[in-house]
Chain A
Amino acid sequence: MEVITSKLKRCVLLAASGRIDSSTAPQLQNAINEVTDEGNFKLVLDMTNVEFISSAGLWVLVNAQKKCKRFNRGGVVLTGLSKRLHDALDLAGFIPYFKNFDNPTQAVGSF
């Protein structure tokens, strides 16, 4: 699991790749914490290269959303969800919590 963080003008883009399970979810959590600790609460999570996500990974997304939503106009939006990732979010009942965009440009433009 890897996360590449790009700080943009209006938001921060985090591109995750690999498998997010109970073993690797803390890495994603740390990457998000680094960004929010610096006062950035508008996040785009690009999931295009994520091959697998378990409930442990899904909770990282939800906790990030909870944290970012507390700030004015803050939030986490998603892009690049495969059908499998979408199905996992759906199974967890997490779909309503995230705006989901077809590509990173649209996701970044939403802020």
Chain B
Amino acid sequence: MITMAFPGRFSSLDAIRNFYARAGEQAGLDKDSIADVELAVDEAASNIIGHAYGGEGKGEIECSYRVLPEGLEVIMHDHGKPFDPEEVSPPDLTSDVCCREPGGLGLHFMKSLMDSVEFSFNGHGGNLLTMTKFQKRAVKP
């Protein structure tokens, strides 16, 4: 497993996306899948900074990955407030533009772009987010 810690600041997002884009290349993901991973980790890290830490400069985001035989496992660890995905209401995707209120899309993006998304919180250990992205299988004729 490869791990790198980034400061919990929005200015880290570019480096976090690049870290996982390189991981995606190592895991044999295609260009579109790597772009999906980049957007998912950006949303995850933004949520960690904005919600778990409640602002910038409050703690680090430990970013890890594992290259799997069939794809990439992304692991993001923070020491912020516990996050329970069950408490997040699904975004309202159909209202008129006047009624849409900012926020609430991060988790929806992560779940839509990745093949699996799991959260766990273990007391002093903080939040652990594990996401996987599988290689696209060759389409059989």
Contacts and interface: CB of A to CB of B under 8 A. Distances in A.
Interface in B63-95: 91-94
A91 B97 contact: no
Interface footprint category on B = 20 to 34
A88 B39 contact: yes
B4 interface: no
A72 interface: no
Interface stretch (A3-11, A39-47, A52-60, A101-109): A52-60
A55 B106 contact: yes
A54 B39 contact: yes
A21 B10 contact: yes
Nearest to A54: B42
B50 A22 contact: yes
B112 interface: yes
Contact of B105 (A19, A21, A55, A66): A55
B21 to A, nearest CB: 10
Contacts of A96: 97
B49 interface: yes
Contact of A58 (B10, B50, B94, B105): B105
Interface residues of A, number: 22
Contacts of A97: 97
Interface in A50-88: 52, 54-56, 58-59, 62-63, 65-66, 69, 84, 88
Interface residues of chain B: helix, strand, loop or mixed (majority): helix
B108 interface: yes
Interface majority SS (helix, strand, loop, mixed), chain A: helix
A92 B95 CA distance: 11
B138 interface: no
A92 B102 contact: no
A55 B10 contact: no
B111 to A, nearest CB: 10
B27 interface: no
A65 B102 CA distance: 13
A92 B93 contact: yes
A38 to B, nearest CB: 23
Please list the 4 inter-chain residue pairs (A to B) with the smallest Cβ-Cβ separation, ordered nearest first: A93-B93, A23-B10, A55-B105, A97-B97
11 contacts: A22-B10, A23-B11, A52-B38, A54-B39, A54-B46, A55-B106, A65-B97, A88-B39, A88-B109, A92-B109, A93-B94
